[in-house]
Amino acid sequence: MTYRVMLRSVFRCLRTNLVAGQRSMSQSSLAGKVAIVTASTDGIGLAAAQALGKRGAHVVVSSRQQANVDKAVALLQGQSITVTGTTCNVGKGEDREKLVQMTLDQFGGIDILVSNAAVNPFFGNTMDSTEEVWDKILSVNVKAAVLMTQLVVPHMEKRGGGNVIFVSSVGGYQPMQGLGPYCVSKTALLGLTRALAPELAPSNIRVNCVAPGIIRTRFSSGLWENEDIMDEFKKKLCIKRIGEPEEIGGVIAFLCSDEASYITGETIAPTGGMAGRL
Ligand SMILES: NC(=O)c1ccc[n+]([C@@H]2O[C@H](COP(=O)([O-])OP(=O)(O)OC[C@H]3O[C@@H](n4cnc5c(N)ncnc54)[C@H](OP(=O)(O)O)[C@@H]3O)[C@@H](O)[C@H]2O)c1
């Protein structure tokens, strides 16, 4: 091979890689997209807001406490993310409407909803759970997810499409002992994803779900701070550690990107290899 032929083939190779690189960057980009993430001042919600924001999305964070909202907004602004925030208890209709209206006022539209909020006010046998427990869990974990979706979809349709992500749990596949009602609410989100995907596909809206294993957040601290429980859990994990919130945020951002353009109605379970092994 002459020197000139060799040089030409090196340049061709470089150009191919550059084009491929640009293509994959643009497919993962969420530049200019507007994302609402509920319960996003801490843990998985905050990590999702961060991951979406780092890919260029304009992010709206929210939770029940104003002080938490202020802290999260300041943190994300410090990372050069375009962000605003408001209080929103997803269990309250007027709060959900305020969150949507504020997003429209600030950013002019909605492209992404990450429905992440959940509560668990009960530990024990499912047979001992009260009507009050079920009302609370189903209202926040399931009903609010449906009603938030109904609120944002017309605005996604105006933009020509969008993405809805529900945050379920590995417990949605196989209820964990003592967490029956909470896990049943997470099973409902697997079904909700399947129910909504065909309904919203004609509007170019993809609906997907993540079902994390044990992730290091305040919500799950009762599990990972207890060495005995963790020793038992780790036996069931392929990857012998609990997950970090950022490892879920990245999956959520991927599902919202064009890299996932052929995925809808699916649940990804980032569990460290635990799914089906509880
Ligand atoms: N951590 C895990 O191991 C794990 C595993 C599987 C699934 N998940 C799911 O992941 C999601 C997030 O959990 P996390 O572990 O990230 O929790 P976390 O770190 O404790 O954060 C909870 C967030 O939710 C907000 N919040 C709580 N109740 C709310 C409500 N009614 N309305 C709006 N915001 C509310 C909190 O802020 P305020 O106090 O200011 O409201 C906070 O920002 C939940 O759906 C949970 O079921 C977690």
Q: How many Å apart are CA 99 and CA 106, to the nearest integer?
A: 11
Q: Which atom of ligand 1 is nearest to the CA of 168?
A: 7
pLDDT at residue 11, as a whole number: 46
Q: Is residue 16 part of a domain?
A: no
Instruction: Determine whether the shortest distance from the Cβ of 66 to ligand 1 is under 6 A.
Output: no
Q: How many Å apart are CA 54 and CA 51, to the nearest integer?
A: 5
pLDDT at residue 23, as a whole number: 44
Could you list the residue range(s) of the whole structural domain that residue 238 is in?
A: 30-268
What CATH number should be reported for the domain holding residue 264?
Answer: 3.40.50.720
Q: Is residue 21 part of a domain?
A: no
Q: Is residue 93 part of a domain?
A: yes
Distant-in-sequence, close-in-space partners of 149: CB < 8 Å, separation ≥ 6: 113, 115, 164, 196, 207
Q: Which atom of ligand 1 is nearest to the CA of 69?
A: 40
pLDDT digits (tens, 9 = 90+) for 181-196: 999 999 999 999 999 9
Place of tokens 């290899």: 273
Evaluate if residue 212 carries a pLDDT over 50: yes
Angle between helices 66-77 and 43-54 (to 10 degrees): 30
pLDDT digits (tens, 9 = 90+) for 77-106: 999 999 999 999 999 999 999 999 999 999
Q: Is residue 244 part of a domain?
A: yes
Quick check: 137 and 160 in contact, CB under 8 A?
Answer: no
Q: Is residue 222 part of a domain?
A: yes
pLDDT at residue 17, as a whole number: 46
Domain count, the chain: 1
Instruction: Determine whether the shortest distance from the Cβ of 255 to ligand 1 is under 6 A.
Output: no
Instruction: Determine whether the shortest distance from the Cβ of 264 to ligand 1 is under 6 A.
Output: no
Evaluate if residue 275 carries a pLDDT over 90: no
Mean pLDDT of 166-182: 96
Q: Is residue 190 part of a domain?
A: yes
In this structure, which amino acid lies at residue 251? V
pLDDT digits (tens, 9 = 90+) for 104-131: 999 999 999 999 999 999 999 999 999 9
CA torsion sign for 168, 173, 176, 182 is positive
Q: How many Å apart are CA 81 and CA 57, to the nearest integer?
A: 8
Instruction: Determine whether the shortest distance from the Cβ of 95 to ligand 1 is under 6 A.
Output: no
Place of tokens 């962000």: 83
Q: Is residue 13 part of a domain?
A: no
Which residue is closest in CA terms to ligand 1's atom 2?
215
Which residue is closest in CA terms to ligand 1's atom 11?
116
Q: Between β-strands 58-63 and 83-87, what pairing exists: parallel, antiparallel or unpaired?
A: parallel
Q: How many Å apart are CA 257 and CA 49, to the nearest integer?
A: 14
Residue positions annotated with a catalytic role: 182
pLDDT digits (tens, 9 = 90+) for 5-59: 444 554 454 454 444 444 455 888 999 999 999 999 999 999 999 999 999 999 9
Q: Is residue 76 part of a domain?
A: yes
pLDDT at residue 233, as a whole number: 85
pLDDT digits (tens, 9 = 90+) for 127-165: 999 999 999 999 999 999 999 999 999 999 999 999 999
Q: How many Å apart are CA 84 and CA 86, to the nearest integer?
A: 7
